[in-house]
């Protein structure tokens, strides 16, 4: 689905040099040649997109309106899959689990990313090392091996459990506790704050020094400077990170699947949306229902994105000329 790799922060468009005047016909020919070369270079991507993304998407859109068990040919059922969802208690549960994961995990992750970015923004010895060290978890974070390590860390009487006991808190194993498993997953995503952190760092570097200097002269406190200068100045970057991380969170799968021992339990407490989708598709062989669920997710994420875009008028500040 959506590729959520880190993209560079928005930069102001550059003035393009005016094209040199040339005879119209040969210019057009050259343009066509350049276009052709361009398409040629893009062709692996275009072919890949058509075959591996657009094709399957269309197929799944069709399957969403069918009853399909992978082995027999699909049977058209209209909107039945969609109406069934709302009366399916496990589907509602998966929506609830995913929503709470997004609502708790995303802000915490962004806060962690911004906090560390602020710390790393000041020039200090070993800055490069710290930046790399904090970014590292994002590189390995999506891997299954980390999820396995996570599972071990949060098990009964393992590192996390014992560390908390030092402070007199006794949770037991998080993975087996329906009330706690979601927090183990949240902790895993928060830990992978490296990618948004790098983007925040780039944003922080763009804030003009003189604003801080002027504020300092006026006697503004550090908190005041953060609230009145830093936050508004980096709000486009914050918006960008918020958007990306929200979309990303809705798609959580691998970590939940592995941490919960491929059961998304216990008691469906770790039943994130894609996990239920996967179970319906590959265990229960209900590909039509799974496709309908996938499209429902796409539409919902689209709606959330639209709301975020709508909300940005109120809190995202662009420099006049950039906008």
Q: Which stretch binds another protein (CB under 8 A): 1-9, 50-58, 103-111, 173-181?
A: 173-181
Residue 172 touches another protein, criterion: CB under 8 A:
yes
The two three-digit tokens of residue 253, written as one number: 């799968």
b/e per residue 114-136 (b: at least 16 CB within 10 A): bebbbebbeeeeeeeeebeebbe
Q: Where are the alpha helices (DSSP H) in 87-193?
A: 89-121, 127-141, 144-153, 159-166, 181-191
Nearest to 117 by CA among 5, 196, 233: 196
| Contact mark string toward another protein, 278..307, x via CB under 8 A | ----xxxx----------------------
Using CB under 8 A, pick the residue from 63, 175, 201, 301 that binds another protein.
Answer: 175
Q: How far apart, in whole angstroms, are the C-alpha atoms of residue 315 and residue 153? A: 39
| Complex with another protein: residue 245 or 268, whichever CB lies closer | 268
Using CB under 8 A, pick the residue from 7, 31, 47, 70 that binds another protein.
Answer: 70
Residue with tokens 């830990």: 191
Torsion of CA 312, 318, 321, 323, to 10 degrees: -20
Q: Which stretch binds another protein (CB under 8 A): 16-24, 169-177, 197-205, 217-225?
A: 169-177
| Shortest separation between residue 105's beta carbon and another protein, angstroms | 22
Using CB under 8 A, pick the residue from 101, 134, 255, 268 that binds another protein.
Answer: 268
DSSP 166-191: HTT-----STT-TTTHHHHHHHHHHH
| Contact mark string toward another protein, 227..266, x via CB under 8 A | ----------------------------------xxx-xx
Using CB under 8 A, pick the residue from 14, 15, 72, 320 that binds another protein.
Answer: 72
Which residues sit at the interface with another protein, rule CB under 8 A? 69-72, 89, 155-156, 172-173, 175-178, 261-263, 265-269, 282-285
């Amino acid at each position: 689905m959506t590729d959520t790799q880190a993209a560079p922060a928005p930069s102001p468009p550059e003035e393009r040099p005016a094209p040199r005047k040339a005879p119209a016909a040969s210019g057009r020919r050259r343009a066509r040649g350049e276009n052709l070369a361009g398409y040629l270079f893009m062709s692996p991507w275009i072919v890949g997109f058509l075959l591996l993304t657009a094709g399957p998407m269309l197929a799944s859109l069709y399957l969403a309106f069918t009853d399909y068990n992978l082995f027999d040919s699909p049977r058209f059922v209209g909107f039945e899959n969609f109406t069934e969802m709302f009366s399916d208690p496990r589907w509602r549960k998966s929506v609830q689990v995913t929503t709470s994961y997004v609502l708790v995990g995303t802000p915490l992750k962004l806060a962690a990313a911004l906090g560390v970015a602020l710390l790393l923004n000041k020039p200090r010895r070993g800055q490069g090392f710290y930046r790399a060290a904090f970014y590292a978890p994002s590189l390995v974070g999506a891997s299954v091996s980390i999820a396995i390590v996570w599972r071990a860390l949060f098990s009964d009487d393992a590192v996390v459990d014992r560390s908390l006991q030092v402070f007199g808190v006794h949770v037991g194993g998080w993975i087996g506790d329906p009330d706690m498993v979601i927090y183990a997953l949240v902790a895993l995503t928060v830990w992978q704050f490296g990618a948004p952190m790098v983007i925040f760092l780039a944003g922080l570097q763009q804030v003009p020094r003189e604003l801080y200097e002027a504020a300092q002269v006026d006697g503004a406190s550090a908190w005041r400077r953060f609230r009145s200068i830093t936050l508004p100045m980096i709000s486009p970057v914050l918006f960008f990170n918020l958007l990306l991380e929200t979309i990303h969170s809705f798609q959580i799968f691998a970590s939940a699947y592995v941490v919960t021992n491929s059961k998304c339990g216990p008691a469906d407490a770790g039943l994130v949306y894609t996990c239920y989708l996967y179970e319906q598709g590959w265990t229960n062989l209900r590909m039509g229902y799974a496709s309908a669920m996938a499209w429902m997710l796409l539409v919902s994420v689209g709606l959330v994105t639209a709301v975020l875009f709508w909300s940005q008028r109120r809190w995202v500040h662009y420099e006049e000329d950039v906008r």
